[in-house]
Amino acid sequence: MRIVEILFYGEKQVKLVVEMPEPGRYTTIESPHLSKLLFRAFPHMTRHRCHNDIRASFKREARATEIPHLFEHLTMELQAQARPGTNLKGETQWNWRIDPVGRFHVYLNYENELLALGAIRLAERIINALDSHQIERVDTSAEIEKLKTLADMGDTLTASFPLPEPLTPPVLIPKTRRSFLRRYSRRKQEGK
Ligand SMILES: [Zn+2]
């Protein structure tokens, strides 16, 4: 997977456009090793909450879910590990009536902008490393220590330069297409 767009907007929210390079391989059904390796590396993620169509736990949902949905949960997990007590939510959407197959929109809220950005980039690396069975190339403990440093820098930055008033959130789907959303799009929404 790759992140092709990162947009910070509104009141501590970030929207990502994520693309799966192989349109026929974007779920854990085609890549069952991914969720297994993810939970092995991050056992706490088995306790994540997840709101999905089948009312399954995240652990159960992860057996057959979209890879960007795993990525979404991992960004939250990494932020929480760097800053325990962080309260986060995320949502993964797609609508292939409008977008090319394999493109996902991931929405996250955050408490610390630099930490969020670091966690997003680290989660992307980890998902790809797990997918290619090369997680040993990422020293996750050392990377989480770096995230803690980033979080401290984020606190300093916010204290020095208060954020401006939030902008209006982006309108992503034209109103005339909204009727399609009910029939052709799916979404996952949850809290950590
Ligand atoms: Zn979820």
Q: Give, for all 192 residues of the chain, the pLDDT tens digit.
A: 999 999 999 889 999 999 999 978 999 999 999 999 999 999 999 999 898 777 788 999 999 999 999 999 999 999 999 999 888 999 999 999 999 999 999 999 999 999 999 999 999 999 999 999 999 999 999 999 999 999 999 988 877 776 666 666 655 544 333 323 333 345 665 655
Which string of b and e fits 117-141 if b means at least 16 CB within 10 Å?
A: bbbbbbbbebbbbbbeeebeebebe
Collapsing DSSP to helix, strand or coil, 65 comes out as coil
Q: Work out the widest C-alpha separation in the chain, in whole angstroms.
A: 47
156 CA from centroid of ligand 1 (Å): 31
Cβ atoms < 10 Å from Cβ of 111: 17
How far is the centre of ligand 1, averaged over its atoms, from the C-alpha of 164 (Å)?
Answer: 31
Distance from C-alpha of 80 to C-alpha of 59, rounded to nearest angstrom: 18
Q: How far is the CA of 173 from the centre of ligand 1 (A)?
A: 22
Domains identified in the chain, total number: 1
Place of tokens 């709101």: 51
Rounded Cα–Cα distance for residues 152 and 140 (Å): 19
DSSP state at residue 175: G
Domain span holding position 63: 2-191
d(C-alpha 90, C-alpha 79), whole Å? 12
How many angstroms does the Cα of residue 48 sit away from the middle of ligand 1? Answer: 8
Q: How much is the pTM?
A: 0.85
